[in-house]
Amino acid sequence: MQSKLLRGTFILTLGTILSKVIGLIYVIPFYQIVGKHGTQLYSYGYVPYTIFISIATAGVPLAVSKFIAKYNALEEYAVGRKLFKSGLMVMSLTGFAAFLIMYLAAPILAEMSNPGKGQLDDVVTVMRAVSFALILVPFMSLIRGYFQGHQSMGPSAASQVVEQIVRILFTLVGAYVVLKFLSGSMVTAVSVATFAAFVGAIGGLAVLFWYWYKRRPYLDELLEKDKGTVNISLKEIYKEIFIYAAPFVFVGIANPLFQLIDQFTLTKALVEMGTSKKLADTAFGILNFESHKIVIIPVSLATAFSLTLVPSITKAYVENDRKNLTDQLNQTFQVLLFLTLPAAIGLSLLAEPVYTVFYEHDALGTQVLGAYAPVAILFSLYSVTAAIMQGINEQRYTILSLLVGLLVKLSLNIPLVKMFETRGAVLATAIGYSASIIINLIVIKYFSRYQYRFIWRRSLLIVIFAGCMWVGTEVMYRFLSVFLSPASKMQSILIILISAFAGAAIYFYLGLKSGLATRLFGNRIERVLTKFKLPRRRQSVEN
């Protein structure tokens, strides 16, 4: 059971991480091409787009995967195919409707974003350029959900990577050509960069069509094994999908909504404090684009878990297999914390050289990234706990938890910004997410009868390991800073590589020595131990 969970997670995790890494690396040349002003414009357009795309897809990949997994477990394969055929048309219509709404509402959204003087029309143009992607992405999301519902994560992973590569190539080449060869304006360059989302969607869709062509014989074989005992109408199907999907929408737009609050309030609060509009816009770009792009990387693992957890947990829940459900939850929480905690801590410690490598040496960027990095742990926990709630059919509470978190964020954002400037917005986000996570954990415990005692003990062990890693990384960083300057890109790369290696070596040595890493990753770790002739795991670490 754990092997199957980890295999599916590994495939989708690999695709998600590759996609995120590619999406992270491209910001280095993109920043060099368009600069701070360009990233500000990009952020103004992309945050609303992310919200629209989440609503347009209506949580389709996860909702459809959950629906299909449920009926496949009952050997009612025709129900899933019926949904697939009808859903393609429905998602095409919702995608086009979402495109029209965002395109027409762009002036209103731009004005609410409070851009700098003379930038209103520029923001409208950028928003309209990115809105075209809404036509294709919902259609593509249904196909991904169909494959995931059959426990086939490869098509989703491959299409994500191809979509990202095509999008980024078009972004970089397009923006560069506009500015360097066509002598175009910055708004034109950024509009081309955002329109790349549409071009990338074409690439991702092409991959999914190829997989459908290859996998269709197998899927048709499943249809022949259909029991045919369930006769469910399209109305009933969509009713069930809507019940599944509504909470998925809220989960999908959680992070963009927190960002949108910053987009509508951060610059306004900073200007009221006496900060110049130009500096306030710079702070917004650092928070919502530059730092966020880096911080979101550790969250990739949690996102992959969210996608793979739902069908697996639904199956265990439908079959009333409490032991397997508990085992899956234990495994998921442990792997999540084991990987995201050290990543977030390391990123916070090395914020200055990391920001220099990706953008430039900047005091404000360093401060914001250092404060923002630990919030990645909360992003991950929220994503996974929300997925668990959906898996146990208590998805209605995800809406409650998100609304509470957003209310906390909205209430605290301006006061905290006026107290701590840009870092106040980060703190408000952390408090808001914490409120949502607490509600999610309570709901999981109450309805699944899951006990957290084991995870609390194991979390303490992981925190101790991360603390040792923090000390080692900090000592190495301070030592290297005597000889190397974090203001230099090349020297910053050396600082990051050496410091991160020192911290990672300490952390994973402790994980191996204690046996925890072996418990979590099984044969892969055993092969590493054999290859490097390292000590075997201790038996004192329990599952």
Res 1: pLDDT: 46
Q: Tokens 């947990």 label which residue? A: 313
Q: How distant, in Å, are the alpha carbons of 146, 329, 332, 414, 452 from that of 5?
A: 18, 11, 9, 42, 20
The dihedrals phi and psi of 536, each to the nearest 5 degrees, come to: -70, 165
Q: What is the pTM of this model?
A: 0.83
Res 410: pLDDT: 96
d(CA 211, CA 78): 20
Q: Which of 352, 258, 277, 286 has the alpha carbon at shortest distance from 51?
A: 258
- Alpha carbon 497 to its chain's center: 25
Kindly state the DSSP code that residue 287 receives in the 8-state scheme. I
Q: How many CB atoms lie within 10 A of CB 445?
A: 12
Res 469: pLDDT: 96
Contacts of 220 (CB under 8 A, 6+ apart): none
- Contact assessment for residue 27 and residue 358, using Cβ atoms and an 8 Å cutoff: yes
- The upper half-sphere exposure of residue 424, i.e. CA atoms within 13 Å in the direction of its Cβ, equals 18
d(CA 242, CA 60): 9
Q: How distant, in Å, are the alpha carbons of 310, 377, 405, 449 from that of 445?
A: 17, 20, 19, 5
Q: How distant, in Å, are the alpha carbons of 14, 53, 126, 128, 496 from that of 104?
A: 37, 15, 13, 8, 45
Res 408: pLDDT: 98
Contacts of 364 (CB under 8 A, 6+ apart): 282, 283, 286, 422
| DSSP H or E run through 469 | helix 453-483
Which pLDDT tens digits describe the chain residue by residue (543 residues)? 445 555 655 666 677 677 777 877 888 899 999 998 899 889 888 889 988 887 777 567 767 877 887 788 777 788 888 888 888 888 888 889 999 999 999 999 998 887 766 788 899 999 999 999 999 988 898 888 888 777 777 888 889 889 999 999 999 999 999 999 998 999 999 999 999 999 999 999 999 999 988 888 888 888 787 777 777 888 888 787 777 777 777 777 889 999 999 999 999 999 999 988 889 989 999 999 899 989 987 777 666 655 565 667 777 777 787 888 888 788 888 888 898 899 999 999 999 999 999 999 999 999 999 999 999 999 999 988 988 887 788 878 988 999 999 999 999 999 999 999 999 999 999 999 999 999 999 999 998 888 888 899 899 999 999 999 999 999 999 999 999 999 999 999 999 999 999 999 999 889 888 888 877 776 667 676 666 666 555 555 555
- Contact assessment for residue 374 and residue 348, using Cβ atoms and an 8 Å cutoff: yes
Q: How many CB atoms lie within 10 A of CB 297?
A: 18
Res 467: pLDDT: 95
- The upper half-sphere exposure of residue 293, i.e. CA atoms within 13 Å in the direction of its Cβ, equals 25
SS (H, E, C) 392-420: CCCCHHHHHHHHHHHHHHHHHHHHHHHHH
Kindly state the DSSP code that residue 115 receives in the 8-state scheme. P
